[in-house]
Amino acid sequence: MLNLSSLDYSVFKDKKSIFSWAPSGAILFGNGAAKRTGEELKKLGVKKATLVTDQGLVKFGIADKIIQSVTGAGIKLDVYDECKPDSSVETVDKIVALAKDSDVVIGLGGGSSMDPAKAAAILVTNGGSIRDYQGCDKFTAAPLPIVAIPTAAGTGSECTPFAVIADRQRAWKMPVGGTGIMPALAICDPELTYSLPASVTAATGMDALTHAIEAYTSRCTEPISDALAVQAIKLIAPAIRPVVYRGDSDKDARYDMMMGAMLAGYAFTTASLGISHCMAHPLGAQYHVPHGVANALCLPVVMEFNMGAWPEHYADIAGFFGEDTYGMSVREAAKVGVQCVYELLEDMPIKPLESFGVTEDGLERLADDAMEGGDRPNNARMTTKDDFIQLYKKVMTLKK
């Protein structure tokens, strides 16, 4: 049984309170949009750019499409193509050395490419180590402009002012944020996701769903973030199974997933997230569990834990998944919302936590790091260290 001692029914954010909404940057969205990358950079007056990507995208020819578009527009281009999952401080330093004379940094890929591109953009103009900028708005000079081109429907990094960088020395996933690293341009082309394998599509899709659900159930919700989160869930819920199992042919589902992921990114930019992310980051830092996989496993367990603190919103989620809850109590409908996500996880090709070497001996340290998560105060229900230990234990019982 989970520890119920920390259940907190305190009043959520007053819906009449003042809130701010300050998205920035342009969006170019649609099938084939990536072909216009060079044209769009030329409009921005770019003479030289640095492309940040990975070997997988080189192998499948996706990076070459962007390279041809950029160089074909007469723009000089340097390429860093060695990004790995959970890009590190050292990766950022290598990108900085390449990007010093560039007008813009292009992040092509998932968060493992877009996030270090953002971090490098900070260091090119501010100097030092990215460790100096952990937190929010720690830099003073404006970073280089960033162009983000996602190749998966997941992180939402193309439309957020955040980056997460792995600090191997501390076994810590380090958050860096600030309005200056909101991409100046996001080029979202669903066609770039067509060749993703099912396992990656599932992990990134569950990450996007986690963003949307945690934004909708955060203590920091406001009307605009709610609207974006709701639409994101409504798009992702029916699309995620088709893109995982027939993603090479269901083009409409691919389109909806990329739109849903982008909207979820905008939603959590202001509404923040919850403890699924607090739990996922230490799993990535200590056991190299891919971020989307960690969120996929934690999300339904966290939803079940949080449900009593705000049952109305969890009941809404059932409806967003298309479930008929007419005649049910709010609590009954909320349980259906949670069950929808448990059933979705069962259908996903997601490995169980034990396959990454996580054991009960390591839960104490995982819980300590989860307690330090920046999203914990915004979670629907207050959480203790013992709560995290019990939550991790429950995640470990999920069999795939």
11: confidence class by pLDDT, cuts 50, 70, 90: very low
Placement of tokens 């709610």 in the chain = 226
Res. 1: pLDDT tops 80? no
Lowest mean pLDDT among 16-30, 50-64, 215-229, 378-392: 16-30
pLDDT of residue 70: 97
Alpha helices in the chain (DSSP H): 37-43, 55-59, 62-72, 89-99, 111-126, 198-216, 223-246, 251-271, 275-287, 291-306, 311-320, 330-347, 363-371, 385-397
Tokens of 380: 């629907």
User: Residue 145, by phi and psi: left (phi above 0), alpha (psi -120 to 50) or beta?
Assistant: beta
Q: What's the rounded Cα separation, in Å, for the pair 313 and 218?
A: 10
Q: What's the rounded Cα separation, in Å, for the pair 183 and 27?
A: 9
201 CB contacts (<8 Å, ≥6 apart)? 152, 153, 193, 243, 244, 247
In this structure, whether the domain defined by 198-397 belongs to CATH 1.20.1090.10 is answered with yes
pLDDT in tens, 341-386: 999 999 999 999 999 999 999 999 999 999 999 899 999 999 999 9
Instruction: Report CA 351 to chain centroid distance, whole Å.
Output: 19
Q: What rounded mean pLDDT belongs to the chain?
A: 92
Tokens of 228: 């974006």
Long-range contact list for 223-229, CB < 8 A, 24+ apart? 223/15, 223/19, 224/21, 224/270, 225/266, 225/267, 225/268, 225/269, 225/270, 225/271, 226/267, 226/271, 228/263, 228/264, 228/266, 228/267, 229/263, 229/264, 229/267, 229/268, 229/271
Residue of 119, 122, 101 whose CA lies nearest to 47: 101
pLDDT in tens, 112-140: 999 999 999 999 999 999 999 998 899 99
pLDDT in tens, 195-209: 899 999 999 999 999
Domain residue limits, the chain: 31-193, 198-397
**Three-state SS for 147?**
strand
Res. 326: pLDDT tops 70? yes
Which CATH entry fits the domain spanning 31-193: 3.40.640.10, 3.20.20.140, 3.40.50.1970, 3.10.129.10? 3.40.50.1970
Question: What value does the mean pLDDT take over residues 253-262?
Answer: 97
Tokens of 140: 């003073």
Res. 49: pLDDT tops 70? yes
317: confidence class by pLDDT, cuts 50, 70, 90: very high
285 CB contacts (<8 Å, ≥6 apart)? 86, 166, 167, 171, 172, 173, 369
pLDDT in tens, 262-287: 999 999 998 999 999 999 999 998 99
User: Strands 135-136 and 172-177: what pairing?
Assistant: parallel
pLDDT of residue 13: 52
Q: What's the rounded Cα separation, in Å, for the pair 43 and 49?
A: 13
pLDDT in tens, 157-184: 999 999 989 888 888 888 898 889 999 9
pLDDT of residue 173: 82
Q: What Cα–Cα distance (Å) separates residue 313 from each residue in 16, 309, 393?
A: 18, 10, 26
Residue of 352, 234, 260, 369 whose CA lies nearest to 301: 352
Q: What's the rounded Cα separation, in Å, for the pair 182 and 143?
A: 10
The DSSP code for 143 is P
pLDDT in tens, 57-79: 999 999 999 999 999 999 999 99
pLDDT of residue 297: 98
Residue of 146, 200, 138 whose CA lies nearest to 348: 200
